[in-house]
């Protein structure tokens, strides 16, 4: 009761009216309850001995505490109601929502509850650019062009900006459609080493790939002949200059001197049947080319020879070279002895029996004249450009009579060419039996060729390994040389060109053959040499052109 009175004293006038009413109700309930409580407390007998039974009055029977609690509760509830009413009276009128007709073209926005903060936009997580694939040569590796680096960029990269930051000179660039890239050739300045420069380029996130400009050498060397006599100078030792002639083989007066231009033109029109074959062509006989040519001659099949320039005016090659490509502009363009010899081994057609005398040769120059040591060298930049050109000109076979270190760029180009159905043939190399596998022959998609002599003995300098696929004649093989000459040559180079020609024979008969089918066919029909079965010295054995063609019947 005291609480209600206190509430009446401190409350505003409207609340006081409600509170008084609550107090009256509480008193009305409380007074009778108090009287009944007092009567009930005397629970005894009257003087007459009768039990006293109190008479209930309105509201009787309710305890005093309960009545007081009800009254106080009612008062508080009414007071709270008055407070809410007063707050509602004092509050500003509610704002009406404006009805807006929906716009059908407006984007739909997510609905949010009133008072909620607008949804935050997600900020994309920044991802680091991928690390460039860079090949840094070990200190012991020197088989690359001094100071030269090959670079491929990611989209948006600037070779000029990279060259400025790393103090490099941009020498040249080439689009390589075969692997959908542009290859840049850069050169270091001052005393920068190739290895140190490549390590610094690892911080250039716009670089996709970088490696040294690897060097490859042609695989033809003078070696002891099977008879123990010295082999005549090899084609590599013949300078590629217009004023000099190739060292001829003394077989007949017709080939003792280089033929003049008029004689060369006349020889180009001489039918093959009217020219007497030159003696000493043991290689063709050993792999049964005569019988094979009764079945196929390579007609219509394009064979690319990546080498030095070839002498298309040589009588043996007249009409054989369909197109040429020069990846070394500005370098002496004279026909090279090695390129002429390889083109002849693949497709000679006059007095020599090339492996595929009716094939179309695509002569691609990646190697210049031989150096002071008599060895011609080329680099990845030129080799990849030649391969790209050969595939673009629909070569079905590519002959690569060179060897060197592995290259990431070249490996991708080889894989792309093979995926297009091109059969790749390469020399195992002449670095000796203790050499590591050399490339491109060691590439998994390439037919690696080694060389043997007339007695089926392996070329002593030939590289061994599980990657070696087949063997072909490669000691004292008669080949054409520039300016109408002929010479004997030895090495895995000439063996490679012969195998490329045999592949052309197979593709003439079955153009739909895939590279793996061709490799399997020539391996299964080869004559086993050395240890039974395939071995790291001879591979599957000596290639047999007639047997391979017979399998296609």
Catalytic positions are 307, 338, 493
What phi-psi label fits residue 531: left (phi over 0), alpha (psi between -120 and 50 degrees) or beta? beta
Q: How far apart are CA 503 and CA 423, in angstroms?
A: 8
194-201 and 159-166 helices, crossing angle to 10°? 120
User: 76: exposed, middle or buried (C-beta count within 10 Å: 0-12, 13-18, 19+)?
Assistant: middle
Partnered with residue 448 across adjacent β-strands are 426, 468
According to DSSP, residue 526 is labeled S
Task: Give the rounded distance of the alpha carbon of 88 from its chain centre.
Answer: 75
Instruction: Count how many Cα atoms sit within 13 Å of the Cα of residue 420 in the half-sphere of its side chain.
Output: 21
DSSP 458: B
70 backbone dihedrals φ, ψ, rounded to 5°: -65, -45
Phi-psi region of 201 (alpha: psi -120 to 50; beta: other; left: phi over 0): alpha
How far apart are the C-alpha atoms of 289 and 45, rounded to whole Å? Answer: 149
Taking the CA atoms of 341, 344, 346 and 351 in sequence, report the sign of the dihedral they define: negative
Rg (CA), the chain: 50
Strand partners, 152: 209
407 to each of 143, 208, 219, 482, how far by Cα in Å? 11, 15, 18, 31
Residues in the chain: 553
Select from 311, 323, 319 the least CA-distant residue to 235.
311
User: Measuring CA to CA, which residue among 337, 309, 284, 325 is closest to residue 499?
Assistant: 284
Evaluate whether 300 touches 347 at the Cβ level (below 8 Å): no
Report whether 71 contacts 23 (CB < 8 A).
yes
| b (16+ CB within 10 A) / e for 413-441 | bbebbbeebbbbbbbbbbbeeebebbbbb
CA distance 259 to 484: 6
29/35 Cα distance (integer angstroms): 11
> Could you tell me the end-to-end alpha-carbon distance of the chain, in angstroms, rounded to an integer?
123
CB distance 530 to 460 below 8 Å = no
Q: Are strands 207-218 and 321-326 parallel, antiparallel or unpaired?
A: unpaired
User: 422 near 397, Cβ under 8 Å?
Assistant: yes
* Residues 395/397/398/401 CA torsion (nearest 10 deg): -150
Assess contact for 196 and 202: CB atoms under 8 A.
Answer: no
Query: Cβ(328)–Cβ(379) under 8 Å?
Result: no
């Amino acid at each position: 009761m005291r609480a209600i009175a206190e509430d009446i004293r401190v409350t505003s006038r409207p609340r006081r009216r409600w509170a008084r009413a609550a107090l009256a109700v509480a008193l009305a309930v409380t007074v009778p309850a108090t009287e009944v409580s007092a009567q009930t407390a005397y629970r005894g007998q009257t003087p007459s001995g009768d039990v006293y039974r109190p008479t209930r009055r309105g509201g009787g029977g309710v305890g005093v505490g309960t009545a007081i609690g009800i009254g106080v509760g009612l008062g508080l509830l009414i007071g709270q109601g008055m407070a809410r009413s007063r707050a509602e009276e004092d509050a500003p009128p509610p704002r009406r929502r404006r009805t807006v007709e929906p716009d059908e073209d407006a984007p739909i926005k997510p609905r949010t509850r009133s008072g909620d903060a607008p949804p935050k936009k997600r900020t994309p997580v920044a991802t680091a650019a991928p690390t460039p694939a860079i090949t840094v040569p070990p200190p012991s590796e020197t088989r690359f062009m001094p100071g030269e680096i090959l670079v491929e960029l990611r989209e948006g990269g600037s070779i000029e900006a990279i060259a400025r930051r790393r103090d490099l000179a941009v020498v040249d660039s080439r689009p390589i459609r075969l692997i959908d890239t542009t290859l840049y050739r850069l050169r270091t300045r001052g005393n920068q080493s190739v290895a140190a420069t490549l390590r610094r380029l690892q911080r250039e996130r716009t670089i996709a790939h970088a490696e040294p400009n690897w060097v490859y050498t042609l695989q033809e060397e003078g070696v002891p002949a099977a008879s123990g006599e010295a082999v005549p100078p090899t084609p590599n030792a013949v300078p590629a200059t217009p004023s000099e002639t190739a060292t001829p083989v003394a077989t007949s007066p017709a080939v003792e001197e280089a033929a003049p231009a008029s004689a060369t033109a006349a020889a180009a029109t001489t039918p093959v049947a009217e020219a007497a074959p030159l003696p000493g062509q043991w290689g063709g006989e050993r792999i049964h080319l005569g019988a094979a040519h009764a079945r196929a001659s390579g007609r219509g099949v394009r064979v690319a020879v990546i080498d030095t320039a070839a002498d298309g005016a040589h009588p043996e090659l007249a009409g054989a070279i369909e197109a040429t490509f020069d990846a070394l502009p500005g370098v002496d363009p004279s026909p090279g002895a090695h390129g002429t010899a390889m083109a002849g081994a693949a497709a000679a057609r006059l007095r020599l029996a090339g492996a595929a005398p009716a094939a179309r040769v695509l002569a691609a120059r990646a190697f210049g004249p031989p150096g002071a040591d008599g060895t011609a060298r080329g680099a990845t930049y030129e080799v990849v450009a030649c391969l790209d050109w050969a595939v673009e000109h629909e070569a079905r076979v590519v002959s690569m009579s060179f060897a060197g270190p592995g290259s990431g760029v070249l490996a991708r180009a080889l894989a792309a060419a093979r995926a297009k159905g091109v059969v790749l043939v390469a020399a195992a190399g002449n670095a000796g039996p203790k050499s590591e596998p050399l490339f491109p022959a060691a590439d998994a998609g390439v037919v690696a060729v080694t060389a043997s002599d007339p007695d089926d003995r392996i070329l002593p300098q030939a590289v061994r390994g599980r990657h070696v696929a087949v063997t072909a004649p490669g000691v004292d093989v008669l080949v054409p040389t520039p300016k109408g000459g002929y010479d004997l040559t030895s090495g895995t180079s000439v063996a490679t060109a012969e195998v490329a020609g045999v592949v052309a024979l197979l593709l003439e008969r079955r153009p739909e053959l895939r590279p793996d089918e061709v490799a399997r066919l020539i391996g299964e029909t080869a004559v086993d040499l050395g240890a039974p079965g395939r071995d790291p010295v001879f591979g599957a054995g000596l290639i047999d052109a007639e047997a391979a063609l017979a399998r296609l019947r």
